[in-house]
A and B are shown apart, each in its own frame.
Chain A
C-alpha cells in the first residue's frame, strides 16, 4: 500500500516491488553503460515478468564503455545473463534522430535472434542501416520513428 500514485517512469515500478528500499533514486543516466537500469521493450516472458530488481546492464560490447542505439550489451535479468540490443536511449543524439523518454532494449540471443515475438514501442529508422545484423529484430518491430 506504499505507492498509491503511478510512479514516475517505468523504472520506478521496480522500486515498488521491493518493500525494503523507500528512498531516493538517482535519475536515469543518459546513454547506456555498466549498471544502468534499462527497460525491456519486447513481449518476451523474461523481460516482462516482475522481479524485485530491475534489469541492469553489466557490459557494453563497444570500444568505449558507452552504448548507443544499435549496440549490443549484456544484461542481468532475474539472476541470469542475457544479451540485448539498444533501441533507444534518453541521451540526445544527432539532430533528426529521436530521443526516447526511457532507455529501451530488446532481448537477443548470441546469434542475434530476438527472444520476443513483437515490439510495440517505436524503433528509430537508423537501425535499418545495419539491415544485415538486425533483420530479425526489425522484422518483429511494429512502429518506426
Chain B
C-alpha cells in the first residue's frame, strides 16, 4: 500500500502467536491410584501418611503406570526357579484390591484352554516391569464374572504388541456385553448386589424379575455408609505431586 507520505509503510510486526502450553495442564495428573485413599475407620492418619511415604519412595524407583480394571497388562517378575530368573505374564486386570503397600491386582488369561489367574502385589520388590498393552476401561469395577464367561473373552495373546495411545486425556470405555457359560455360575451375577452391567443375560424374564427380590434400594440413601473422599483425594494428590517432583 502506498502511504500518504510516499515513503515505504511503517514496519508492522506480525501478531504474536498464542501458545497453549499443554504440558503444564498435563502435570495436574488427575488420576489418583485407588490404594492411596485411606479406608474409612478410626486409625491414626499418621499410619497412612508413613505408608504413603514408602509408596512414593517405591514409585520413584519403579514406574507403576496408570491402569484400571479391564486393561491388558504384561508383568515381568523375578523368580529364582524360572529360566533367565524372570517370568512374564500377560492378562486382563479383573480386580484391584487392598489399600496402602498391600495393594494387589489380579490378572487373568486363558493359556492352552486353561484359565490362569495371578494376584500380584503392586509394591512387591519382586516385580521388575509392568507394561500396559491395551488401555480400555470396562463397564464394571470388578470383572470376576469372566470366570463364568466363555473363555474367548479372557484369552489374550502372550506376544501382543502394545496398542499405542494417542490422546493423553481420555481412556476409552469398552461397552462389551459378555456372553456367559450356562448356569450354575460361581456367583449369582444377575442379582442386583453385584450391579453388573457388562453381561448379556440370556436368562428368561421371570428369572431376572425373581433376582430383583434381593435388591436393597435403601442402601444408596444410607447415610452411615457415606464416605466422601473428594477432600482427602485433593490433599493426597497435592502431596503426591509435590513429592514426585522432588
Interface residues of chain A, those whose CB is within 8 Å of chain B, are 5-8, 24, 27, 88, 92, 95-102, 104, 120-122, 125-126, 128-129, 143-145
B87 contacts A125, C-beta separation under 8 Å: yes
Give the shortest distance, in Å, between A64 (CB) and chain B (any CB). 23
B87 contacts A99, C-beta separation under 8 Å: no
A96 contacts B81, C-beta separation under 8 Å: no
B182 contacts A143, C-beta separation under 8 Å: no
Complex CA distance for A54 and B33, rounded to whole angstroms: 46
Q: Given A8-B181, A27-B186, do A95 and B119 touch, yes or no (CB 8 Å)?
A: yes
Give the shortest distance, in Å, between B112 (CB) and chain A (any CB). 5
Chain B: which residue is nearest A92 at the CB level? B119
Complex CA distance for A102 and B115, rounded to whole angstroms: 8
A122 contacts B124, C-beta separation under 8 Å: no
Q: Given A27-B184, A95-B121, A96-B124, do A144 and B116 touch, yes or no (CB 8 Å)?
A: no
B147 proximity list for chain A (CB < 8 A): 101
Chain A: which residue is nearest B148 at the CB level? A8
9 A-B pairs with CB atoms under 8 Å apart are: A95-B119, A96-B126, A99-B119, A100-B116, A101-B117, A102-B115, A104-B114, A121-B112, A125-B81
Our pick among B77, B111, B119, B120 for the contact of A122 (Cβ within 8 Å) is: B111
A101 contacts B115, C-beta separation under 8 Å: yes
A8 contacts B182, C-beta separation under 8 Å: yes
A143 proximity list for chain B (CB < 8 A): 111-112
Total A-B residue contacts, Cβ distance less than 8 Å: 70
What 1/0 mask marks residues of chain B from 90 to 125 whose CB sits below 8 Å from any chain A CB?
Answer: 000000000000001000000111111111110010
Complex CA distance for A101 and B87, rounded to whole angstroms: 20
A97 proximity list for chain B (CB < 8 A): 118
Give the shortest distance, in Å, between A25 (CB) and chain B (any CB). 8
Interface size class of B (residues with CB under 8 A): 20 to 34
A121 proximity list for chain B (CB < 8 A): 111-114
B126 proximity list for chain A (CB < 8 A): 96
Interface residues of chain B, those whose CB is within 8 Å of chain A, are 77, 79, 81-82, 87, 89, 104, 111-121, 124, 126, 147-148, 181-184, 186
Q: Which 5 A-B pairs have the closest CB atoms?
A: A101-B115, A128-B81, A121-B114, A8-B181, A125-B81
B116 proximity list for chain A (CB < 8 A): 98-101, 122, 145
A100 proximity list for chain B (CB < 8 A): 114-116
B182 contacts A5, C-beta separation under 8 Å: yes
Complex CA distance for A101 and B147, rounded to whole angstroms: 8
From DSSP, what is the main secondary structure of chain A's interface residues? loop
Complex CA distance for A128 and B121, rounded to whole angstroms: 22
B81 proximity list for chain A (CB < 8 A): 125-126, 128-129
A96 proximity list for chain B (CB < 8 A): 77, 118-121, 124, 126
Most chain A C-beta atoms within 10 Å of own C-beta, residue among B121, B148, B182: B182
A102 contacts B114, C-beta separation under 8 Å: yes
Complex CA distance for A1 and B182, rounded to whole angstroms: 16
B119 proximity list for chain A (CB < 8 A): 92, 95-96, 99
Complex CA distance for A100 and B154, rounded to whole angstroms: 13
Most chain B C-beta atoms within 10 Å of own C-beta, residue among A97, A100, A104, A129: A100
A128 proximity list for chain B (CB < 8 A): 81-82
Complex CA distance for A143 and B119, rounded to whole angstroms: 19
Complex CA distance for A47 and B136, rounded to whole angstroms: 41
A95 contacts B120, C-beta separation under 8 Å: yes
Chain B: which residue is nearest A94 at the CB level? B119
Our pick among B87, B114, B181 for the contact of A144 (Cβ within 8 Å) is: B87
A99 proximity list for chain B (CB < 8 A): 116-119
B118 contacts A98, C-beta separation under 8 Å: yes
